[in-house]
Amino acid sequence: MADRLAPVSDVQPTADQTTALDTASAAPPSGAAPARLLLIDGHSMAYRAYFALPVENFSTSTGQPTNAVYGFTSMLTKILADEQPTHLAVAFDMGRTTFRTERYPEYKGTRDETPQPFRGQVPLIREVLETMRVPVIERENYEADDVLATLATQARAAGMQVLVCSGDRDAFQLVNDDVTVLYPIRGVSELTRMTPDAVRAKYGVGPERYSDLAALVGETSDNLPGIPGVGPKTAAKWITAYGDLDGIIAAAPDIKGKAGESLRAHLDQVVLNRELNHLLTDLELPLGPADLAVQPWDREAMHRVFDSLQFTALRERLFAAMPGEAAAPVEAGEPVDVAELAPGGLGGWLAARAGRTLGIDVRGAIRPGSGDAWGLAIADDGAAAVSLDLTTIDPRDEAALAAWLADASAPKAVHGAKSAWHALTGRGLPIAGVVFDTEVAAYLCHPDQRSYDLPSLSVRYLHRELTSGAPAAGSQGALDLSLDGSDEHQHAAARAAAVGELSGVLADALADRGATDLLARLELPLEDVLAAMEHRGVAADVDYLRELEKLFDAQVQTAATEAYDVIGREVNLGSPKQLQEVLFDQLGMPKTKKIKTGYTTDAASLADLYARTQHPFLAHLLAHRDAIRLRQTVEGLLRSVADDGRIHTTFQQTIAATGRLSSTDPNLQNIPIRTEAGRQIRRAFVVGEGYETLLTADYSQIEMRIMAHLSGDEGLIDAFRSGEDLHNYVGSRVFSVPTDQVTPAMRSKIKAMSYGLAYGLSSFGLSKQLSIEVGEATRLMDDYFSRFGGVRAYLTGVVDEARATGYTATIMGRRRYLPDLTSDNRQRREMAERMALNAPIQGSAADLIKVAMLGVERELTARGLRSRLLLQVHDELVLEVAPGEREEVEAIVRAQMGSAAALDVPLDVSVGVGASWHEAGH
């Protein structure tokens, strides 16, 4: 439905007619439970959600704040689960101008301007509601409260129970035996039920008299002043004595004391307050309660919206809370026929399906280097399946299974093939012939998603729920012992069947996105390479790491002591509250960005503050944080050393939307490369026993070379072909000086700008980065583009093309879809434009290093060499070289990396060797 329901036209039914229609159609059958209508004040709850969650912790990769969206959706999820409404609607204000502001211009006049990060979030909430098919209702010149009051009145007349979720106390006047207000008392996570008894206990009057009480005491948030000196207790006493506000006004001349004098002096304001706080219950609306029945949700649209919002856990919670009527499009799925094979019968079952792609589900532990599989299910097109307990399998069946798994000509579909590789290899059952990985395929289709777990994909693409059961390979925790054997096998078979069906659906989706070859020729073969690298691990010098841990711990203590000496006392340097008191109260430093709890003390803000003040306390504080981070890095490495004395990281293919690999458990990409501390940590990675040396190889200025190729700029191409230092070459042309007269300062400016352009750097951003005036940065960029016009044309063209097609593409055709390129929200649109600039360059670099890895592994294997790939960190490869193979390995690495793509500029590869990762650097 549309985001906004326009005001009704003259031909629509009146309020009375609507009520009559609703009464006839919404009343439940005799003896049935009454219908339950949930009404939500959209702006009220969204605003509360915004302030309940720190905005700095919730934003998309495009920079769009999402804390209000997250909080609102989380609140809605909880209410749906708790209340199980049969009917649902959300009302929004259409603007600040209403009949109330026309009557009293000061109405709500003291409210602060809407915070910038909140703007743009209400439309996102509307998008979420639209996918849930929740009606959004608003009326021009009226407030959401009036819409809710009208619907609540109509629903009660129709025999419905009503819940009104609002943070506006004016809603209390709606409360009665059939209408309950859910009022937030802590953010939007904790709601209290305001019933008639609850209103009386809180205010001393019934809900029917609440608006009278509010008229007397006023409402600060609405800028409605009350009677000076008259609080809720006095107002309730008067209402009890005189019946209602009219009775109080009539008795005003006789009310004694200062309170009576104050009442008489402010009677006009009291009457106005009552006029303004009274909620209207007779608006003409386009929908009545009977039209608000909970509808089946548009799951695919919900996935798209949640993908763009980058919500994962919340999406799962919302689906779990799905009301019964909304679950209709998703089936439980027919039970898969699990064959009861006689011992030794597996070989025949597999032979009968020779040549067909079978879906696999592996259950077990996936630790690189020490994995283990304890169960496996195989499904044939969802029609038939077998599920095997690998701990008790018949030897004949185990032999048949091992032969089939290792047969590269037997096609298999798996979800998370690399995880299955580790689990099966640990059981002595190597796997080959994987022709489809549903996890990686889903990633290629939707690279900005956060999660690609099989149950979510089953719901999204097959519209079928996978029942809970024993964990598949990659799941955390032990086997669910609450399941009996048949349940476990049935669930495993259902997962295997889902994998098989998904492979067909996702194959079509890949074809639509031009990504079929990317999966088959790059990502799938790479899984085998990465699995082998993870299994090998890299040797670690444990004794050296322990000494390094002590060193960084000493630095933590020293930095803390020096920080305390500056301010003359000890504080908790990890406490934002205490740091705020030191920085802004004791030391009087300039305020950073205002947040809910004061002023931010995050790393970027403190670094900026230090750059402005050069205060020694900040110097020691930043050194303290750096030392803690380094100590934690070393502690993590020590915990990661396996029994074989090696560290086995896990490479993730489905995390970075650009296609770059990431590293986890431990993360080897967060070790600084250009700092002394980073070099110290890299010394801990050493050549293993039986090998001669480590060899590292990386691309030189790969992103700038791709920029030159994609832009076709002759100046940049000539720079790389000449063999001169790129930044000196470019600097000489921008600054009109010979290359040997390009100063370090000039080179630094050119380098910052050249790389920054690939990330959408603005003149303002460049000025901050180089600490120069914006005008100078603008002139610098203009001079650059005047000499390298092809770059400007490319940067402009790639955004325009992406806006037209909806996506960017790498040299190898990897697409990244950027719907925000056409967003009405400027912040989201500009961030998407920066992504459109960067994705083809960074993504192409990621593709090239992957191609090089495949080539290196292929050549090492073909030549029968013992040397092996160990690590990939961005544009760098690390290999362990066997004795006597160094020169041949170096030649292989240079050849494969240098020929990974045919570019208009040479791919320059730097190589180094040494006993440690640091020594092998270059």
Tens of pLDDT, residue by residue over 427-460, are: 999 999 999 999 999 999 989 877 788 988 888 8
The arrangement of strands across the sheet holding 868-873 comes to 868-873, 876-881, 693-699, 909-914
Residues 630 and 752 in one domain: no
User: Would the pLDDT of 767 be above 70?
Assistant: yes
The whole-number average pLDDT for the span 522-548 is: 96
Contact residues for 256 (Cβ-Cβ < 8 A; gap 6+): none
Residue 26 lies in a domain: yes
Spatial separation of the C-alpha atoms in residues 442 and 454, rounded to whole Å = 10
Spatial separation of the C-alpha atoms in residues 80 and 88, rounded to whole Å = 10
With cut-offs at 50, 70 and 90, classify the pLDDT of residue 382: low
Q: What is the pLDDT of residue 322?
A: 60
844, 850, 809, 898: which is closest to 523 by C-alpha? 850
Other beta carbons within 10 Å of 83: 17
User: Which region among 112-126, 234-248, 372-386, 518-532 has the lowest average model confidence (pLDDT)?
Assistant: 112-126
DSSP secondary structure code for residue 354 in this structure: T
pLDDT tens sequence across 156-165:
999 999 999 9
Which range, 14-18, 185-189, 890-894, is most confident?
Answer: 890-894
Tokens of 218: 């006023």
Spatial separation of the C-alpha atoms in residues 232 and 218, rounded to whole Å = 10
Residues 95 and 144 in one domain: yes
**% of the chain beyond a pLDDT of 90:** 49
pLDDT tens sequence across 389-423:
999 999 999 999 999 999 999 999 999 999 999 99
The strand ranges marked E within 331-480 are: 358-365, 372-380, 384-389, 412-414, 434-437
- The SS3 assignment for 615 reads coil
141, 99, 144, 139: which is closest to 5 by C-alpha? 139
Residues 515 and 547 in one domain: no
**Pairing label, strands 434-437, 662-664:** unpaired
The domain tally of the chain equals: 4
Where does a domain end: 810, 841, 872? 841
Residues 493 and 543 in one domain: no
DSSP secondary structure code for residue 190 in this structure: E
Supply the CATH number for residue 416's domain.
3.30.420.10
With cut-offs at 50, 70 and 90, classify the pLDDT of residue 332: low
Residues 176 and 36 in one domain: yes
Residue 848 lies in a domain: no
Residue 19 lies in a domain: yes
> Across the strands, what pairs with 644?
none
User: Would the pLDDT of 666 be above 80?
Assistant: yes
Residue 438 lies in a domain: yes
Handedness of CA 425, 429, 430, 435 (dihedral sign): negative
- Judge contact between 667 and 524, C-beta under 8 A: no
Contact residues for 483 (Cβ-Cβ < 8 A; gap 6+): 469, 470, 491
Other beta carbons within 10 Å of 220: 10
Spatial separation of the C-alpha atoms in residues 807 and 821, rounded to whole Å = 9
Instruction: Give the predicted TM-score (pTM) of the model.
Output: 0.74
Q: What is the pLDDT of residue 628?
A: 93
Spatial separation of the C-alpha atoms in residues 404 and 266, rounded to whole Å = 90
Q: What is the pLDDT of residue 93?
A: 86
Residue 674 lies in a domain: no
Residues 391 and 429 in one domain: yes
Q: What is the pLDDT of residue 36?
A: 92
Residues 71 and 52 in one domain: yes
Q: What is the pLDDT of residue 109?
A: 66
Residues 517 and 607 in one domain: no
Residues 505 and 553 in one domain: no
Residue 354 lies in a domain: yes
User: Which region among 495-499, 577-581, 598-602, 698-702 has the lowest average model confidence (pLDDT)?
Assistant: 598-602
Residue 273 lies in a domain: no
Residues 464 and 579 in one domain: no
The strand ranges marked E within 155-290 are: 161-165, 179-186, 190-194, 218-219, 224-225
Supply the CATH number for residue 32's domain.
3.40.50.1010
Query: Pick the residue with more confidence: 376 or 257?
Result: 376
Residues 561 and 461 in one domain: no
The whole-number average pLDDT for the span 800-813 is: 92
Amino acid identity, residue 767? S
Residues 392 and 371 in one domain: yes
- Judge contact between 666 and 652, C-beta under 8 A: no
Amino acid identity, residue 733? R
Contact residues for 633 (Cβ-Cβ < 8 A; gap 6+): 666, 670, 671, 681
Which H or E run includes 809? strand 807-809
Q: What is the pLDDT of residue 486?
A: 60
Helical pair 702-711 and 714-722, crossing angle rounded to 10 deg: 140
User: Would the pLDDT of 10 be above 60?
Assistant: no
User: Which region among 80-89, 486-495, 501-510, 619-628 has the lowest average model confidence (pLDDT)?
Assistant: 486-495
- Judge contact between 844 and 704, C-beta under 8 A: no
User: Would the pLDDT of 11 be above 60?
Assistant: no
Q: What is the pLDDT of residue 844?
A: 95
> Across the strands, what pairs with 868?
880
User: Would the pLDDT of 280 be above 80?
Assistant: yes
Helical residues (DSSP H) of 641-773, grouped into ranges: 676-682, 702-711, 714-722, 726-734, 744-757, 763-770
Query: Pick the residue with more confidence: 335 or 171?
Result: 171
Residue 68 sits at φ, ψ, to 5 deg, of -70, -40
User: Would the pLDDT of 489 be above 70?
Assistant: yes
Supply the CATH number for residue 818's domain.
1.10.150.20
Residue 253 lies in a domain: no
Secondary structure, 3-state, 706-721? HHHHHHCCHHHHHHHH
- Judge contact between 623 and 555, C-beta under 8 A: yes
- Judge contact between 75 and 127, C-beta under 8 A: no
With cut-offs at 50, 70 and 90, classify the pLDDT of residue 472: low
With cut-offs at 50, 70 and 90, classify the pLDDT of residue 7: very low
The whole-number average pLDDT for the span 681-689 is: 96
- Enclosing domain of residue 395: 346-531
Contact residues for 352 (Cβ-Cβ < 8 A; gap 6+): none
Where does a domain end: 531, 555, 576? 531
- The SS3 assignment for 913 reads strand
Spatial separation of the C-alpha atoms in residues 301 and 417, rounded to whole Å = 28
**Mean pLDDT, rounded, of the chain:** 86
Where does a domain end: 507, 531, 555? 531
User: Would the pLDDT of 840 be above 80?
Assistant: yes
806, 787, 785: which is closest to 796 by C-alpha? 785
pLDDT tens sequence across 185-233:
877 778 899 999 999 999 898 899 988 888 888 887 777 888 888 888 8
> Across the strands, what pairs with 477?
none
Spatial separation of the C-alpha atoms in residues 172 and 195, rounded to whole Å = 9
- The SS3 assignment for 722 reads helix
